[in-house]
Amino acid sequence: MGTEESTTLTLLGGFLLEDDGATQLLPHSAESVLAFLALRGSLARRTVATTLWPGMSLEHAHANLRTVLWRLGSHSECLLQVTTKTLDLAPHVDVDVRRFMSAAEHRDVDALLSGNALWGDLLPGWYDDWVALEREKFISLRLRTLAECATLLIGQGRFGAALEAALAAVAAEPLLELGHRLVVDVHLAEGNQAEALRHVTRYAQLLHQELGVSPSPEMLARVCSDAAGRVYHWETARIET
């Protein structure tokens, strides 16, 4: 491994470990250990072993973990902090998810809009139970953060960046109304009533096709002042009184 400052771990959009710009190839079991520690922080060896190898006896799970650490060899000295009882990712390893969480905590909008943090899924193609839980937690955090960012950017008149954040929220949860409301709010803030109405119409069609329901009155009220008294015609994809 190269210098400490050059080690980066990417989890959004897929697992990628790089050192001095060179990709480091590891067995999937080793990737799992690194990803788990990157997301959870310092953990007892027992927790790592039983979470990553569920259904095995404690003895076999610990044996698998020891094998992973042995296979990492010299890499483990650069990537991990290892004691007889705990494991942790080395503090110098730069993790994209941690950067996102730090930027979200400090409301650093520009940092949040950079890289693939807006669009990349957490460890796509990984189907472990612990990954599903972490993915759900990250999606929730990302949606809350994107909503706050979009609202802040609208207030600053940065409509292009606000729309990017809103569209990322839509991409993360296409059926959830929150992201679509943000998109509509951006268009309305720009004075683009027609585009706001078109987006509500497209969203209404999507909801009807997928769930057989309509947007909330609050959503419709954004583009129709008398939305409560209007009926949406799905066949023609338009709103009429």
pTM of the full predicted structure? 0.84
Asked if pLDDT for residue 3 goes beyond 80, the answer is no
- How far is C-alpha 13 from the geometric centre of its chain's CA atoms? 9
Fold topology of 4-92: Arc Repressor Mutant, subunit A (1.10.10)
What is the structure's pLDDT at 70? 92
- For the chain, give the DSSP string: ---GGGEEEE-BTS-EEEETTEEPP--HHHHHHHHHHHHH-SEEHHHHHHHHSTTS-HHHHHHHHHHHHHHHTHHHHHHEEE-SSEEEE-TT-EEHHHHHHHHHHTT-HHHHTSTTTTT--BSTT---HHHHHHHHHHHHHHHHHHHHHHHHHHHTT-HHHHHHHHHHHHHHSTT-HHHHHHHHHHHHHTT-HHHHHHHHHHHHHHHHHHTS----HHHHHTT-TTGGG-EEETTTTEEE-
What is the structure's pLDDT at 239? 56
CA atoms lying within 13 Å on the CB side of residue 197 = 13
Q: How many Å is the Cα radius of gyration of the chain?
A: 23
What is the structure's pLDDT at 114? 75
Q: Residue 238 — very low, low, confident or very high, per pLDDT cuts 50/70/90?
A: low
Query: Mean pLDDT for the chain?
Result: 88
List C-alpha distances in Å: 186 to 57, 157, 209, 225: 54, 9, 25, 17
Asked if pLDDT for residue 235 goes beyond 90, the answer is no
Please name the residues in contact with 222: beta carbons below 8 A apart, sequence gap of 6 or more: 181, 184, 185, 188, 196, 200
The pLDDT tens digits for 186-210 are 999 999 999 999 999 999 999 999 9
CA–CA dist 46, 98 (Å, integer): 24
What is the structure's pLDDT at 1? 53
The pLDDT tens digits for 124-149 are 999 999 999 999 999 999 899 999 99
What is the structure's pLDDT at 116? 65
The pLDDT tens digits for 73-129 are 877 778 999 999 999 999 999 999 999 999 888 888 888 887 666 678 899 999 999
Rounded average pLDDT over 2-22:
84
% pLDDT > 90, the chain: 68
Q: Residue 21 — very low, low, confident or very high, per pLDDT cuts 50/70/90?
A: confident
The pairing of beta strand 86-89 with beta strand 80-82:
antiparallel
Q: What are phi and psi of 86, to 5 degrees?
A: -130, 160
What is the structure's pLDDT at 229? 43
Lowest mean pLDDT among 21-25, 118-122, 153-157, 235-239: 235-239
Asked if pLDDT for residue 237 goes beyond 60, the answer is no
